Structure 1
Amino acid sequence: MLLSPRHAFNLEFNEAKYQDYLNQIKADFPGALDFRVAETPVFVATSFLQKMRQTCDYIISQVKAADFMAKTDQAIPKGRRVSGSEGRPHFLIFDFGICEDGANPGDFFPQLVEMQGFPTLFAYQLKQYKAAAAAYNLPPGFTPFIGGFDDQSVKQVLGELLLGPDNQDNKNPHTILLELFPEKQKTRIDFLYTEKYFGIPAVCLTEIKKVGNALYYQRDGKDIRIDRIYNRLIFDELDHQEEDVKAQAALLTEQLDVQWLTHPNWFYRLSKFTLPLLSDPGIPETKFLSDYETFPEDLENYVLKPLFSFAGNGVIIDVTPADIARVPKSAYGDYILQRKVHYAPAIQTPDGLAKAEIRLFYVWPDNADSPIPICNLARLTKGNMVGVSQNKNQTWVGGSFALFGTENSHKS
């Protein structure tokens, strides 16, 4: 973590600037921001970014391997398999914790915490970057983007991916963002910016109907055929819904004449299920419970995670033998033990040190040989959990982003 821009930001910070930052984020859609925004970006060395990308490159090589589909076929739960061509994961998301080398204080390294073949806050983050740049005196030579991208080129690659290369007029009603009760989701501000930037409406699962193999939704009294689905629906959430919603969701497992972005099966193929299949210095030791003959004696150094959960639900940070005993042996294949990632209190804030993780955003257009890194988000915490919902009553924590650069670029 870079000290010079960190100290400069803290010195220049005041509450008025932070409120200006928030007001700019909220201005377009009052009441839609439903999670805490951290006061600060995270200033990260480009060398740290390169370490994260090396691990991502390794994972991508495994995803592209000829046997990856066979290795991950059991990842898809019974009754959740969606028909149709899976193609490629159009979105790949990698979450890294910022850790410190105990033998070399001040030397930080990334450790992969989770990954997903599923979209994230692509549109919202573009707005957040602009709001921060307008409210704060951010240092020159730093960028939230990766690989030479900027705001406009990210919008272009996302627009072509979401709408199709021949529909760049932001007026294509045949692409929808699919979610369950989108107006109630904490990430709804991203849905609104997705429509603002790309003209893609958020449509609730309960609004769609099937005629033959085609799907439709209704707007202004007219039935509109759905050709492309930007899928933001977490299928795990359906387990807790009423029977009529579950019945509606069953439509999605049938043969459909739609193109998925990305196909729902990738949510499971590229997930916690994949971690035990990987071996890389940037990935902590991870095993299925079913792979253990005897469990580690130092369980306190592991995290117990259910494969099928979202936003940290069901995760146990400080594992005990009793926690393992509560898992039925028949369900051992649905849980992983992951060696604990010790987040470093690396971010100096006016009211104490914060920990952080960085999420790298990759997209994989149909005309690209490999996924492309474009930008990022970050999340700051002062507790054991990093999710923004776990830090509601603290300051200098919450959703943010990394700015990549060097001490020299700051001085320039």
Structure 2
Amino acid sequence: MNPSARKSFNQNFTNEKYQQFLKQLDNNLHGPVQFRVAETPVFLTADFRDKLIDAGNAIVDAILQPGFKELTERAIPAKWRVANENDHPHFIALDFGVCKDDAGNIVPKLIELQGFPSLYGFQVLMGDAYKDVFGIGDDQTVYFNNLDKAGYLDLLRKTIIGDNKPEEVVLMDVNAPEQKTAVDFYITQKYLGIPVVSLNDLKQRGNQLFYEADGELKLIKRIYNRLIFDEIDGDNAIFDKVVDIRQPLDMEWITHPNWFYRVSKFTMPFLSGDYIPQTQFLHQIEYLPADLENYVLKPLFSFAGQGVIIDVTVDDIRSIKDPENWILQQKVNYEPFVEAPDGGVKAEIRLLYLWPDGDAQPTLAINLARLSRGKMIGVRYNKDFDWVGGTIALMPR
């Protein structure tokens, strides 16, 4: 997309540098990366960067509108509603496909959004490693809003830790060390000094939570939550074995689990604009479009692309028992604009926002990108390809 930066990178690329890049990542982490990292970053032009920013601003405005909570009440499944919800998500992630419009222009199209953390720590390390190993100049940055690495980490610290001591804030997930995203957990621990704990490490005394360190119980004032309830949904007795985190507890959520559902695919039908594909709740559609081949069917309450039906048929729709929990979304056609040595590769850019308590609105801070040759974006759909996987976008400073 940035032709000169792409040409320079490709001319100087070697597999030896790529292996050095992977080694630099692993050497700074608790363990090796468990997902594929791409050979290349994405190089954005200033024009496309500005289109992304404009698209993101319009969506954030919709989230900020009065009544957003009322509009999204139905999004939260009753069994996973958690007490003591706050008034805003601390994290917003917006996924845009890089597409071509009818006039032939390269434009972003919203794919999904989430009020939940992403790889806010790992992306810093990845950006540094690409620049170091491949000799990318300081005129290119992974950050927005004039942030540099120090300013970004300060904003991340303000969002996650706030006025607390690092040892009073825990990063928590179910079986945290075993998650594919554990590399992000431990680099975040390195940057911020907060402990990483699993769900079954939480200990309750009254309405307070603790974790054990050095043989002592440590009070938890904030949980940086990385747990998605889908991962424990199959165990109906889960809260007989661990602390029931849905109950009122004397601590803060960063971010509160209810925002995972409020800012999600559920929000898509309420959005409109040049960068938003037409999206409807399935149960509200009076007449199915004649060109179903140009739509995808998505379950509201799933993640990582699970359950999505790409080649939709009338029978698929008729077989759905809970249409109120599905959306029909117009397909977006990814443009394979990233030039690999053997052809074009599709890309998706995730804008990552941070919203610390006390700020009037979220700040667009950093990004994540994914490259694909498969039918869907995502590491699991690109296992047998190269020049695909997780990466980051670099933009003119």
Query: How would you bin the TM-score normalised by the shorter chain?
Result: over 0.9
Q: 1-side partners of 2:179 and 2:293: how far apart? A: 34
Please state how far the C-alpha of 1:102 moved relative to its aligned partner: 4.0
Match of 1:24 in 2: 24
**Partner of residue 119 from structure 1, selected from 114, 117, 137:** 117
- Taking a change above 3 Å as real, the CA distance of residues 364 and 10 of structure 1, as seen in their structure-2 partners, is same
**Structure 2: segments with no counterpart, 5+ residues:** none
TM-score normalised by L of structure 1: 0.93
Render the CA deviation track for 1:117-158: whole Å, top value 9, x for unaligned. 001000001110111111102145211110100111111111
Matched, 1:304 2:304: no
SS at structure 2 position matched to 1:193: helix
Q: 2-side partners of 1:248 and 1:270: how far apart? A: 29
**Partner of residue 363 from structure 1, selected from 354, 369, 373:** 354
Render the CA deviation track for 1:61-110: whole Å, top value 9, x for unaligned. 22111111110111100111111132211101100000013432xx2000
Match of 2:147 in 1: 149
Please state how far the C-alpha of 1:258 moved relative to its aligned partner: 0.7
Match of 1:205 in 2: 199
Render the CA deviation track for 1:192-248: whole Å, top value 9, x for unaligned. 10111111122111111222111112223221111100000001211123x443435
Please state how far the C-alpha of 1:312 moved relative to its aligned partner: 0.7
Match of 2:338 in 1: 347
Render the CA deviation track for 1:160-186: whole Å, top value 9, x for unaligned. 22111354xxxx221001100111111
Match of 1:131 in 2: 129
Match of 1:95 in 2: 95
Amino acid at match of 1:340: K
TM-score normalised by L of structure 2: 0.97
Q: 1-side partners of 2:164 and 2:320: how far apart? A: 50
Matched, 1:283 2:281: no
Match of 2:392 in 1: 401
Contact in 2 for aligned 1:303/1:315 (Cα 8 Å): yes
Contact in 2 for aligned 1:229/1:259 (Cα 8 Å): yes
Please state how far the C-alpha of 1:263 moved relative to its aligned partner: 0.7
- Taking a change above 3 Å as real, the CA distance of residues 248 and 281 of structure 1, as seen in their structure-2 partners, is farther
Q: 1-side partners of 2:309 and 2:239: how far apart? A: 28
Q: 2-side partners of 1:324 and 1:193: how far apart? A: 43
Contact in 1 for aligned 2:211/2:217 (Cα 8 Å): yes
Please state how far the C-alpha of 1:318 moved relative to its aligned partner: 1.4
Q: 2-side partners of 1:233 and 1:91: how far apart? A: 14
Count residues with an aligned counterpart.
Answer: 397
Render the CA deviation track for 1:3-42: whole Å, top value 9, x for unaligned. 1211111111001110110000000336431000100011
Matched, 1:13 2:4: no
SS at structure 1 position matched to 2:80: coil
Match of 1:235 in 2: 229
Q: 1-side partners of 2:298 and 2:95: how far apart? A: 15
Match of 2:371 in 1: 380
Please state how far the C-alpha of 1:49 moved relative to its aligned partner: 1.6
SS at structure 1 position matched to 2:275: coil
Q: 1-side partners of 2:242 and 2:325: how far apart? A: 22
Amino acid at match of 1:129: G
Q: 2-side partners of 1:346 and 1:260: how far apart? A: 39
* CA RMSD between the two structures: 1.5
Contact in 1 for aligned 2:44/2:393 (Cα 8 Å): yes
Q: 2-side partners of 1:373 and 1:365: how far apart? A: 12
Match of 2:48 in 1: 48
Amino acid at match of 1:161: T
Match of 2:60 in 1: 60
Q: 1-side partners of 2:62 and 2:99: how far apart? A: 25
Q: 1-side partners of 2:174 and 2:342: how far apart? A: 38
The worse-fitting range, judged by mean Cα deviation, of 252-261 and 200-209 is 200-209
Please state how far the C-alpha of 1:379 moved relative to its aligned partner: 0.2
Please state how far the C-alpha of 1:278 moved relative to its aligned partner: 1.1
SS at structure 2 position matched to 1:93: strand
**Structure 1: segments with no counterpart, 5+ residues:** none
- Taking a change above 3 Å as real, the CA distance of residues 30 and 69 of structure 1, as seen in their structure-2 partners, is closer
Q: 1-side partners of 2:288 and 2:239: how far apart? A: 37
Instruction: Indicate the percent of aligned positions where both proteins have the same amino acid.
Output: 44
Contact in 2 for aligned 1:92/1:115 (Cα 8 Å): yes
- Taking a change above 3 Å as real, the CA distance of residues 307 and 249 of structure 1, as seen in their structure-2 partners, is farther
Q: 1-side partners of 2:167 and 2:163: how far apart? A: 15
Contact in 2 for aligned 1:32/1:188 (Cα 8 Å): no
SS at structure 1 position matched to 2:66: coil
- Taking a change above 3 Å as real, the CA distance of residues 138 and 65 of structure 1, as seen in their structure-2 partners, is same
SS at structure 1 position matched to 2:141: coil
SS at structure 2 position matched to 1:305: strand
Contact in 2 for aligned 1:5/1:139 (Cα 8 Å): no
SS at structure 2 position matched to 1:327: coil
Q: 1-side partners of 2:25 and 2:53: how far apart? A: 29
Match of 2:78 in 1: 78
The worse-fitting range, judged by mean Cα deviation, of 18-27 and 93-102 is 93-102
